[in-house]
């Protein structure tokens, strides 16, 4: 965590925020250096030698492997290309549009590396909007976010560590009382926070958390249900973090010990109160569940208010949220010099995130949707000036079409994570993107974000096979959809880029088993390098 104090005026804040924050050395973090040196087009790929017996056998085995899934209605798109020989080993419907599921993250993280660079860091600011005297701020305290998704226990010592550090910065500035509101300004991103194409049945699940310019604990709250002290008592309900502001309707009851627990946490939409029903046995284990918060800005503001009050800083006003840039005092030109001689807000302190590469590791290795969508919105704000789902999708498409050389007809980007069932991409798109990244300065960093086969907590499949500790690939899974795209080395050391996409399959498990067979088969090739 890096928190500092500054007397910078608002123009500097906006310049920093809108250019998405220079690194500590003051260098640009975009893709400028890469833009000059990366290839504009996509090298033509020649067919592999049809007379080579290994390739002949490989192609014969492809159909048998896919047939073994037992699903006649399933559709497959397969492409495997040698990065060293520039020839095609396998090709089946390589240009066909397919639902890629979480393979979309491979595309959005490549675009993020190109536009932002691996050392890019987010900053979250606290500003004083009013004069200060005698330990009193006569005005509002403004929490201004630029999209940082790392304010959580995943990256810092606790879920509230970032808010605690910002509150300490306020105390260090000499403020003991705030005679105004705590304004949470999330106007750096445009709404909605939830993608309109996401399945409504998923919106109460942790993998579909809302995406906002200010987020805490990845916009999730953990609910813990603890049995009461006697039979018939209501169980106790706790949330992590505390003071979540989420209403709870507790209709559950404690029953005699030894009874099987039957507790349900019910909520129609993320905006509804959490209903808790059922029975929990006396002295039994607690029931836990993580749920998306209904209002990320208000949730974050409450935690900052709690952190301030815990340090003796009194806030007389309430938590006020701003989403519309037109309603934000930080989005208008008059704020540069103030109005009627009134000084603009001044920065009291700020919080800095880990570098972008740390986020990309989590996105691809753990398939984290929340981080993927936040990074995509950041790319949209950087490239097109629009930090939204639509802006992020269009910026990723711009990278793929204009830089990678992907044919527009082989691509339809709707979000950064792959949760939307309207995403479409061909196997060729993934192979082209990886080939482009291999020509970039960030190839090793990018490849390192992909899960490794045979490794616990990464891609555990293909254990004790030639692909283990060798093949690196991004997975993808939805109902009727499976995907695996990445790189594998053959026994002779040849680098093979591949993409296996399947749609309308009856069993994702069988589809993944076929992917594993193909990956192991490619890893087993012994075709020697040419002279």
Q: What is the pTM of this model?
A: 0.90
Place of tokens 């990445």: 486
Largest Cα–Cα separation, the chain: 86
Residues 320 and 184 grouped into a single domain: yes
Tell me, yes or no, whether 17 lies in a domain. no
464 and 364 share one domain: yes
Residue 253: inside a domain, yes or no? yes
- pLDDT on residue 335: 42
Domain co-membership, 180 together with 212: no
How many CA atoms does the CB half-sphere of 366 hold within 13 Å? Answer: 13
CATH number, domain with residue 160: 3.50.80.20
Residue 246 and residue 340 share a domain: no
Q: Is residue 428 part of a domain?
A: yes
Quote the tokens at residue 123.
């900053």
User: Smallest Cα–Cα separation from 127: which of 175, 191, 188, 164?
Assistant: 175
Average pLDDT, the chain: 88
- Which of 327, 352, 377 is the last residue in one of the domains? 352
Whether residues 275 and 333 share a domain: the answer is: no
Question: CA 99 to CA 299: how far, in whole Å?
Answer: 34
Q: Please report, rounded to a whole number, the percentage of residues in the chain having pLDDT higher than 70.
A: 87
75-132 per-position pLDDT tens digit: 999 999 999 998 999 999 999 999 999 999 999 999 999 999 999 999 999 999 999 9
401 and 432 in one domain? yes
Domain residues for 131? 2-8+121-196+297-352
Specify if 531 maps to a domain: no
- Host H or E run for residue 301: helix 296-310
Q: Total structural domains in the chain?
A: 3
478-531 per-position pLDDT tens digit: 999 999 999 999 999 999 999 999 999 999 999 999 999 999 999 999 988 765
Q: How confident is the model at residue 231 (pLDDT cuts 50, 70, 90)?
A: very high
Same domain for 158 and 108, yes or no, is no
Angle between helices 104-116 and 369-384 (to 10 degrees): 40
Judge whether 305 lies within some domain.
yes
The domain boundary residue, chosen from 352, 369, 387: 352
Domain of 385, CATH number, reads: 3.40.710.10
- Domain match, 507 and 383 both: yes
* In a shared domain, residues 447 and 490: yes
**Is residue 436 assigned to a domain?**
yes
């Amino acid at each position: 965590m890096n928190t500092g104090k500054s007397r910078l005026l608002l123009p500097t804040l906006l310049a920093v925020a809108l250019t998405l924050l220079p690194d500590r050395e003051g260098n640009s973090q975009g893709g400028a250096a890469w833009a000059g040196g990366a290839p504009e087009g996509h090298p033509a790929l020649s067919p592999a030698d049809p007379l080579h017996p290994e390739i002949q056998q490989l192609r014969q085995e492809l159909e048998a492997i896919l047939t073994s899934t037992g699903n006649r209605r399933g559709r497959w798109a397969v492409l495997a290309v040698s990065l060293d020989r520039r020839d095609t080993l396998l090709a089946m419907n390589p240009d066909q549009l397919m639902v890629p599921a979480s393979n979309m993250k491979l595309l959005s993280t490549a675009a993020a590396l190109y536009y932002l660079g691996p050392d890019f860091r987010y900053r979250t600011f606290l500003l004083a909007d009013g004069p200060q005297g005698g330990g009193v701020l006569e005005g509002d305290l403004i929490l201004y976010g630029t999209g940082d998704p790392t304010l959580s226990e995943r990256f810092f010592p606790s879920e509230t560590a970032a808010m605690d550090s910002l509150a300490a910065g306020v105390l260090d500035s000499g403020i003991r009382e705030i005679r105004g509101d705590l304004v949470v300004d999330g106007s750096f991103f445009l709404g909605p926070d939830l993608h309109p194409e996401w399945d409504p049945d998923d919106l109460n699940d942790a993998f579909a958390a809302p995406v906002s310019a200010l987020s805490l604990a990845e916009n999730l709250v953990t609910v813990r249900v603890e049995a009461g002290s006697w039979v018939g008592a209501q169980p106790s309900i706790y949330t992590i973090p505390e003071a979540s502001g989420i209403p709870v309707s507790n209709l559950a009851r404690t029953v005699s010990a030894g009874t099987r627990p039957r507790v349900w946490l019910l909520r129609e939409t993320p905006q509804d109160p959490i209903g808790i029903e059922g029975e929990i046995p006396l002295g039994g284990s607690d029931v836990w569940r993580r749920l998306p918060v209904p209002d990320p800005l208000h949730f974050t503001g409450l935690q900052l208010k709690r952190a301030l009050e815990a340090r003796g800083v009194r806030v007389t006003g309430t938590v006020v949220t701003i989403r519309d840039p037109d309603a934000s005092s930080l989005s208008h030109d008059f704020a540069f010099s103030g109005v009627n001689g009134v000084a603009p807000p001044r920065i009291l302190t700020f919080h800095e995130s880990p570098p972008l590469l740390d986020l990309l590791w989590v996105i691809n290795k753990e398939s984290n949707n929340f981080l993927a969508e936040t990074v995509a919105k950041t790319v949209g704000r950087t490239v097109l000036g629009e930090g939204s789902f639509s802006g992020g999708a269009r910026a990723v498409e711009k990278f793929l079409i204009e830089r990678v050389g992907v044919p527009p007809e082989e691509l339809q980007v709707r979000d950064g994570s792959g949760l939307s069932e309207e995403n479409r991409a061909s196997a060729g798109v993934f192979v082209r993107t990886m080939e482009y990244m291999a020509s970039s300065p960030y190839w090793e960093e990018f490849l390192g974000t992909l899960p490794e086969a045979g490794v616990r907590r990464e891609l555990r499949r293909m254990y004790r096979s030639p692909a283990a500790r060798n093949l690196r690939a991004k997975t993808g899974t939805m109902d009727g959809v499976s995907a695996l795209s990445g790189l594998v080395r053959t026994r002779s050391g040849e680098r093979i880029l591949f993409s296996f996409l399947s749609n309308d399959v009856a069993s994702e498990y069988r589809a993944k088993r076929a992917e594993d067979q193909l990956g192991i088969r490619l890893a087993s090739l012994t075709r020697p390098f040419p002279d």
